[in-house]
Amino acid sequence: MSEEPLLTVEGLTTEFTTDNGVLTAVDGIDFEIERGETLCLVGESGSGKTVASESITRIVPTPPGEVTGSVTFDGQEIISMSESELKEIRGGRIAHVFQNPQDALNHCYTVGWQIVEAIQTHEPNTSKQEARERAVGLLNDVGVANAAARLDDYPHEFSGGQKQRVMIAMALVTNPDLLIADEPTTALDVTVQAQILNLLEELQEEYNMSILFVTHDLGVVAGIADQVVVMYAGKVMERGGVHEIFDEPSHPYTRALLECLPGKSRSAEGIPGSLPSPISPPDGCRFAPRCDYAVEECRAGDQPPEEPLSESHAVSCVHYQQGYDPAVIREEVVQEDGATTGGVSSD
Ligand code: SF4
């Protein structure tokens, strides 16, 4: 096994040309995903996490979009790859699962027809009979009961959770190395959401996949992540192992997101204010207009550089720079919340 990360993202920037100016949705972000690891990109709606995930395989529309920076997948640079080279990877070694399975499935064709077509597109020499047998196996793998019988049902005959299972089965057709799952459980009720998360964990082991999981929900992150990257207004605010993020949240934005979890201090009202315009973001820290700890220095220059707190944990906030005292942030949360803000199990 190679020791290089499966995916290395460096300086990823995605801009869209609009009538009102250049909209920078993702602004120079970096992260790595190891083989077999789950990395969660988390942030509020509009933080840039979905555009970042779609920029990896360049499925953002270009134009009006433009993706720059570097994305290295298993040693190959994706950003400069030709469209025909990228096709081999996109939908092959890297598969996507999206939020709304009803939008992704074609309601005019049976589920079996769609899975068989996906198999034969990827493996043209596979006979229809072989493809149907594989489709049954895939539906079994994702927990669709009576898989052989359900093959000839139409999407509308499946529940929301079952449709998402079908979409995951279609993503597994190519035995991907990396699954990019963008809010795959958001449209589902809590019980089904938990089932899908468990399923993804089981499949990750069975298929030896890495997962890039995109979500606004830190509760979901606690259940599935190994590593977490917290994004706000196109920038990385904090990154760390899941236990570091939940047990030692250090950026005011991460702490605010945790305070919005059910039963926490901001669960009813959320974080006051809204994200800045991606066309004209504020100087300095992007979170400054909403931050309870902002000082004058926060409102000048660029986003503060990420300060390492450990080998895997880093935070972009002036209070962690030399000459400042991060206790101003940490102490207040300890007073509000008790000893810990954590919500992640230790297993
Ligand atoms: S840099 Fe300033 S504004 Fe940004 S999170 Fe830290 S304290 Fe708040």
The verdict on the CB of residue 285 being under 6 Å from ligand 1 is yes
Q: What is the pLDDT of residues 126-161, one digit of tens each?
A: 999 999 999 999 999 998 999 999 999 999 999 988
Residue 196 lies in a domain: no
Return the number of other C-beta atoms located less than 10 Å from residue 41's C-beta. 27
Identify the residue whose tokens are 């493996």: 123
- Ligand 1 atom showing the smallest separation from residue 286 Cα: 4
Mutate to test the pocket of ligand 1, among 290, 306, 318 (most ligand atoms within 8 A of CB): 318
Where is the domain boundary, 173, 191, 211? 173
Among 56-65, 71-80, 157-166, 187-196, whose mean pLDDT is lowest? 187-196
Residue 302 lies in a domain: yes
pLDDT at 259: 93
Question: What percentage of the chain has pLDDT greater than the value 90?
Answer: 73
Where is the domain boundary, 173, 199, 227? 173
- pTM value is 0.91
**Domains in the chain, number:** 2
Residue 149 lies in a domain: yes
Tell me how far CA of residue 76 lies from CA of 9, 70, 153, 208, 221, in angstroms: 12, 10, 40, 20, 29
Residue 217 lies in a domain: no
DSSP string across 162-197: HHHHHHHHHHHTT--SEEEEESTTTTS-HHHHHHHH
Q: What is the pLDDT of residues 304-341, one digit of tens each?
A: 999 999 999 999 999 999 988 888 887 654 444 444 44
Q: Provide the residue range defining the domain that includes 313.
A: 252-337
**pLDDT above 90 for 71:** yes
- Ligand 1 atom showing the smallest separation from residue 252 Cα: 5
The verdict on the CB of residue 287 being under 6 Å from ligand 1 is yes
Where is the domain boundary, 173, 205, 230? 173
Residue 105 lies in a domain: yes
Going by pLDDT thresholds of 50, 70 and 90, the confidence category of residue 346 is very low
Residue 180 lies in a domain: no
Going by pLDDT thresholds of 50, 70 and 90, the confidence category of residue 186 is confident
pLDDT at 332: 53
Beta strands 7-18; 210-215: pairing state: unpaired
Residue 278 lies in a domain: yes
Residue 43 lies in a domain: no
